[in-house]
Amino acid sequence: MTQKHKPKGTLLAVLDIGSSKIACFIGRVIDDEGGFEILGVGHHASKGVKGGTITDLDLAEAAIRQTVHAAENMAADIMKGYPLREVVVNLPGVHAASHVHTADVRVDGHEITSNDIRRALAKAQEQVISDEYELVHTIPMNYRIDGNDGITEPRGMFGQNLSVDIHMLTGDMGALRNMATSIERSHLDITALCHSAYAAGLASLVEDEMDLGCTLIDMGAGTTSIAVFHSGRMIYADALPIGGQHVTNDIAKGLTTSLHDAERLKALYGNAMATSADESELIDVPRLGEEDHRVPNHVPRTLLVGIIQPRVEEIFELVRGKLADSGLGTAVGRRVVLTGGASQLTGIKDLAQHVLDKQVRLGRPIRLSGLPDAVSGPAFSTTAGLFAYISEHSHEMPAEIMAHAEAHGLWERVKFWLKENW
C-alpha cells in the first residue's frame, strides 16, 4: 500500500462547504503518526449553498475566497506569502451513494501482496466508472481466498483466487462539477473529496466504536448525513436533505417571527423533548415585521418545543428507516454518535435514544489537538475529519489505487496499456 502517513512538515488544507458555514483549516504534519498542528482557521457564513448544493456560483466563490483568506492570514508566518494551492473538500452526503461490489483476481498460488489487493480494487473501479458519477472512496471490507470467507488481512496468505467485497462511494457528477467550479475559481485545486459524515466520524469516534459497529449522524443545517462504521471501516453512508435549518424555518412559521429570532429562540429555549418544567414557562417572541420590539408575544415554551420535536423526530425516524433498509442488520451496531451543529439542540440525545433505540452520545472533534475554541465544537467535526482522511486514508482514494495498481501478467499489462493508450 502507499505510505500510511504524510511526511513530517507537509502542509495540508481542508475546506468544508456547508449549508450554513464554510470552514477552512490549514495544518502541518508534526510527527510520524500523522499528528497535526493547526496553523490557520477561517470560517464564514455560507452563501450560495442550500441543502448541500451550490445554488449560486458567484456567491459561493466569494464566501470560499473570504474563508480561505482568513485561514491563510492566520497561517501567514509559516506560509510566507505563498497562497494555498490545494484543498481536501467534503462531499455533501446528499450527493453521494453507497454501493457494494465484489471483485476477483487470480493469484496463482503466490503469496498475496498489497498489489494483488490493489489489482482487485482497480478492477472493481473500472466496472463502476461512469459519466454520471465520480468515484470518491474505495474501501475493501472483506476478503475471500479460494472461497474461504471472513478474511480480514489476506496479505502474506497463499491461494489461487482472491475475492474482495468493496464499499464504493460515488458522488453526483453535476453537483461535484459546480462545487469544483466555485473552488477552482478561487485558484484552488481539489486534491481529494471525502464524504461529510465519514470525515465527521474520523474526527469524533474512538477506535472501539469504529471496530464494534457505530452509526455517526452528522446533523448539519441543510442535511443530515450518516456513516456506519464496522471493523474499523466505513461500510455504509446515506443522507437526508433535512437539517437544523428546517427546524428554524418551522419555528419562524409557527411563531410568526423572523428566521433570525427563530434561530436564537431555538438555541436559547429549544428542546427536542417536552419536559414538565416547560409548561409554566413563558418566552418572549418578537413579532415579525413589527418595528416595536418592546411588545413581544409571550408564548408558553411548550409551544416552541411542540414545533421542534416533531421535526427532529421525523429526522431520526427517517434515519432509522435508512438503517433498516440498508440491509446491514446487526452490523449497524448498538451505538450512535451525534455530531454537527444541529446536534447541540438541548434534549437531542434523549430523543435520538428514544427513536433509534440505541446508546447515543454526543461527539465533537477529538482527534485534532490545538483547535482554537471557536472551531472545536460539533459543527466542525467534518472539517477536522478531512485531515484524518487525507493523512490516514489516502489508500482509499480511487486515483491512488489506479496509480499504484501494477498489472499482473502479460495479458493484464496489455489490457492496461490498451486502456491507457486507446
Ligand X SMILES: Nc1ncnc2c1ncn2[C@@H]1O[C@H](COP(=O)(O)OP(=O)(O)OP(=O)(O)O)[C@@H](O)[C@H]1O
CB of 357 to Mg ion, least distance (A): 26
Cα 28 to Cα 12: distance, rounded to the nearest angstrom: 6
The alpha carbons of the chain give a radius of gyration, in whole angstroms, of: 23
The rounded Cα 93 to chain-centroid distance in angstroms is 7
Reported as type and span, the H/E element at residue 100 is strand 96-106
204 near ligand X, rule: CB under 6 A: no
For Mg ion, how many residues bind (rule: CB under 5 A)?
Answer: 3
Q: Among 259, 267, 288, 407, which residue sits at the site for ligand X (rule: CB under 6 A)?
A: 267
C-alpha pair distances (Å), 121 with each of 1, 139, 364, 392: 12, 8, 32, 18
For ligand X, how many residues bind (rule: CB under 6 A)?
Answer: 26
52 near ligand X, rule: CB under 6 A: yes
Per CB under 6 A, which region of 159-167, 201-209, 299-307, 335-343 contacts ligand X?
Answer: 335-343
Mapping DSSP to helix (H, G, I), strand (E, B) and coil, where does residue 334 land? coil
Grid cell listed for 177: 462539477
378 near Mg ion, rule: CB under 5 A: no
19 near ligand X, rule: CB under 6 A: yes
Burial 306-336 (b: 16+ CB within 10 A, else e): ebbbebbbebbebbeebbeebebeeebbebb
Q: Which is nearer to ligand X, 49 or 121 (CB)?
A: 49
Beta strands in 257-304 (DSSP E): 282-285, 297-300
The string of DSSP letters for 218-231 reads EE-SS-EEEEEEET
Q: Among 342, 368, 371, 397, which residue sits at the site for ligand X (rule: CB under 6 A)?
A: 342
245 near ligand X, rule: CB under 6 A: yes
Q: Which is nearer to ligand X, 27 or 52 (CB)?
A: 52
CB of 196 to Mg ion, least distance (A): 5
Find out whether 139 and 18 touch, Cβ atoms under 8 Å. no
Q: Which does 42 bind (CB under 5 to 8 A by kind): ligand X, Mg ion, none?
A: none
Q: Among 13, 18, 96, 235, which residue sits at the site for ligand X (rule: CB under 6 A)?
A: 18
Q: Which is nearer to ligand X, 96 or 166 (CB)?
A: 96
DSSP letter, residue 7 = P
286 near ligand X, rule: CB under 6 A: no
Q: Taking CA 362 as the corner, what is the angle to CA 52 and CA 225, rounded to the nearest 5 degrees?
A: 25
302 near ligand X, rule: CB under 6 A: no
CB of 93 to ligand X, least distance (A): 8
DSSP letter, residue 281 = -
178 near ligand X, rule: CB under 6 A: no
Q: Among 27, 154, 201, 220, which residue sits at the site for Mg ion (rule: CB under 5 A)?
A: 220
21 near ligand X, rule: CB under 6 A: yes
CB of 92 to ligand X, least distance (A): 6
* Residues paired with 113 in a beta bridge: none
Site string for ligand X, 91-110 (x = CB under 6 A): -x------------------
Q: Among 340, 363, 385, 398, which residue sits at the site for ligand X (rule: CB under 6 A)?
A: 340
* Residues paired with 194 in a beta bridge: 90
42 near ligand X, rule: CB under 6 A: no
Among 365, 351, 15, which residue's Cα sits nearest to residue 216?
365
Find out whether 266 and 251 touch, Cβ atoms under 8 Å. yes
DSSP letter, residue 340 = S
Half-sphere exposure of 285 toward its Cβ, with a 13 Å CA cutoff?
A: 26
CB of 81 to ligand X, least distance (A): 30
- Crossing angle of helices 196-204 and 381-392, in 10° steps, is 90
40 near Mg ion, rule: CB under 5 A: no
CB of 383 to ligand X, least distance (A): 8
67 near ligand X, rule: CB under 6 A: no
266 near ligand X, rule: CB under 6 A: yes
Residues binding Mg ion (CB under 5 A): 18, 220, 382
Residues binding ligand X (CB under 6 A): 18-21, 46, 52, 92, 196, 220-223, 243-245, 248, 263, 266-267, 270, 340-342, 344-345, 379
